């Protein structure tokens, strides 16, 4: 039988997962917009439709939510990230790349590592990411 303390621990864990889910889509969108801009392209709704395989309406609704959160600006030519949006995109890219590097280090193919990282990057704790980074750094030291 679960105790009150066990239930509180489970509740905190589930609250964390719900927070992560609420940020997951925002992270994916700002990262995609950032990547388009960095590639010298103008980020547009149609680009995001293609990237995410969703309807125009779905993209517009998501962008409205992210604009209200102060992550992007839709006035002017194309989509622009705010400072907050750029920070989120950069942090998301770092997490993604670390997860990919870790998965590659344990023998996962490049394609599968990127696919798996898309889900993992949003749900791994900072503690786990730090441990992955330490392990990767230790592996690099051993190689050299």
| Options 3.20.20.80, 3.30.300.30, 3.40.718.10, 1.10.10.10; CATH of 4-143 | 1.10.10.10
Domain ranges of the chain: 4-143
**What is the model's pLDDT at position 17?**
64
Helix, strand, coil share of the chain (percent; to 5): 75, 5, 20
- Rounded Cα gap, residues 143 and 136, in angstroms: 11
Which residues of the chain are modeled with pLDDT < 50?
none
**What is the model's pLDDT at position 12?**
78
**What is the model's pLDDT at position 53?**
96
**What is the model's pLDDT at position 22?**
66
Decide: 70 and 117 in contact? Cβ < 8 Å. Answer: no
Model pTM?
A: 0.77
* Helical pair 4-38 and 56-68, crossing angle rounded to 10 deg: 110
Among 18, 5, 20, 44, CA closest to 122: 20
| CA-to-CA separations, 118 to 7, 21, 88, 96, in angstroms, rounded | 30, 13, 15, 7
Phi first, then psi, for residue 122 (nearest 5°) are -90, -15
């Amino acid at each position: 039988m679960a105790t009150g303390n066990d239930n509180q621990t489970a509740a905190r864990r589930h609250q964390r997962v719900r927070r992560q889910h609420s940020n997951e889509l925002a992270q994916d969108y700002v990262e995609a917009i950032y990547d388009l801009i960095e590639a010298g392209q103008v980020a547009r709704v149609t680009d995001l439709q293609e990237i995410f395989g969703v309807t125009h309406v779905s993209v517009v609704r998501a962008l409205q939510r992210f604009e209200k959160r102060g992550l992007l600006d839709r006035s002017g030519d194309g989509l622009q990230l705010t400072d907050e949006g750029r920070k989120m995109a950069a942090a998301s890219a770092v997490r993604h790349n670390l997860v990919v590097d870790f998965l590659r280090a344990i023998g996962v193919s490049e394609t599968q590592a990127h696919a798996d990282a898309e889900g993992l990057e949003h749900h791994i704790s900072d503690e786990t990411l730090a441990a992955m980074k330490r392990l990767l750094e230790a592996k690099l030291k051993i190689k050299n």
